[in-house]
Chain A
Amino acid sequence: MNDARFAQTLEYTSEALRAIDLALFAAASGDHNPLHLDEQVAQQAGFERPLVHGMLTMAHAGRMFTQAFGPGSVQALQTRFTGTVQRGERLRMRAVLSSVEDGAARYSIEVAAGDGKPVATGMARIRPLHP
């Protein structure tokens, strides 16, 4: 647990997620579900604004780790989506080091959005490519 390469905690806050971010992500990911893009469809489903793709939230989790440990450092990343993120909200993430084994760190992840409601939990296994 005393490997200096691995911070005890990481914190990450995204910009507020805009319609253009969701549209770019839809194009990049091929997920064109109108729930993410169309105000009316979102409202018919009971949401005020379109929902952020779960995979867009997870892409930010990946970014949190590659920013801290470099490209290629994420050996495993797992996310459980527990709540919805609406367009216009920010993601706030916190990763806590839980163990280091054979040069790889394991972090637990918690993601909140908007006013702090939990939206995802997860786990990552990190091994920097360039120690």
Chain B
Amino acid sequence: MDRSLVGWSSDAVLVRVDAWRVSLFCQAIGQAPPAAQDPVPPTFLKALEGESCSSASILERLGVPLRSVLHAEQAFEHLAPVRAGETLAVSRRVAGIEDKRGGTIALIHLETEFDRDDVRVANSRQTVLVRRETV
């Protein structure tokens, strides 16, 4: 695992909140899509991360095979409502790598910032668990 990437950030990428994608997301959980004036579902923002710099591509940069990882934790903080049709600037960062359980597992912490017109609207944090015997 390439620990020199701790602190690395992706360039901010402009990602449109596509109404079609929001509808698909809602359909997958048996929910009607939001009315135009209503915010998107709270965890929808995770879907936008992949458009900017996917967790899979970050793990590849770190030299961690996908088969060795589990999604251990996820958190969102919403500072302002996000609606379909808007465009957000999304950037991601490798916030840290922690060894646990005598080095048999490692936790990779990824953080994402979501800005609209240079104002922060949300943050997210993902923890990926790596089973070290497979790396």
A interface residue numbers (CB < 8 A to B) = 14-15, 21-22, 24-25, 27-31, 33, 54-56, 58-63, 65-66, 71-72, 74-81, 129
CA gap between A22 and B24 in the complex, in Å: 11
Instruction: Chain A residues near B24: list those with CB within 8 A.
Output: 24, 27-28
Indicate if the CB atoms of B42 and A79 lie closer than 8 Å.
no
- Check: B16 CB closer than 8 A to any chain A CB: no
Closest residue to A73 on the B side, CB-wise? B42
CA gap between A74 and B130 in the complex, in Å: 29
CA gap between A28 and B21 in the complex, in Å: 6
Contact residue among A28, A30, A65, A72 (Cβ-Cβ distance under 8 Å from B39): A72
Give the number of residue pairs across the A-B interface with Cβ within 8 Å. Answer: 96
Distance from A119 Cβ to chain B, minimum over Cβ atoms (Å): 12
Distance from A113 Cβ to chain B, minimum over Cβ atoms (Å): 15
Kindly name the residue among B39, B43, B72 whose own CB sees the greatest number of chain A CB atoms within 10 A. Answer: B43
Instruction: Chain B residues near A55: list those with CB within 8 A.
Output: 43, 46, 71, 74
Contact residue among A31, A54, A71 (Cβ-Cβ distance under 8 Å from B38): A71
- Check: B85 CB closer than 8 A to any chain A CB: no
- Check: B75 CB closer than 8 A to any chain A CB: yes
B interface residue numbers (CB < 8 A to A) = 21, 24-25, 27-31, 34-35, 38-39, 41-44, 46-47, 50-51, 54, 66, 70-78, 81
21 A-B residue pairings within 8 Å (CB atoms):
A21-B29, A22-B28, A24-B27, A28-B24, A28-B47, A29-B50, A30-B47, A30-B50, A31-B50, A54-B71, A58-B46, A58-B74, A59-B44, A62-B43, A63-B31, A66-B42, A71-B35, A72-B39, A75-B77, A77-B42, A80-B73
Instruction: Chain A residues near B21: list those with CB within 8 A.
Output: 28
Indicate if the CB atoms of B28 and A81 lie closer than 8 Å.
no
Instruction: Chain B residues near A15: list those with CB within 8 A.
Output: 30
Indicate if the CB atoms of B66 and A33 lie closer than 8 Å.
yes
Instruction: Chain B residues near A74: list those with CB within 8 A.
Output: 42, 76, 78
Kindly name the residue among A15, A25, A30 whose own CB sees the greatest number of chain B CB atoms within 10 A. Answer: A30
Distance from B22 Cβ to chain A, minimum over Cβ atoms (Å): 8
Closest 3 CB pairs of A and B: A30-B50, A78-B75, A24-B28
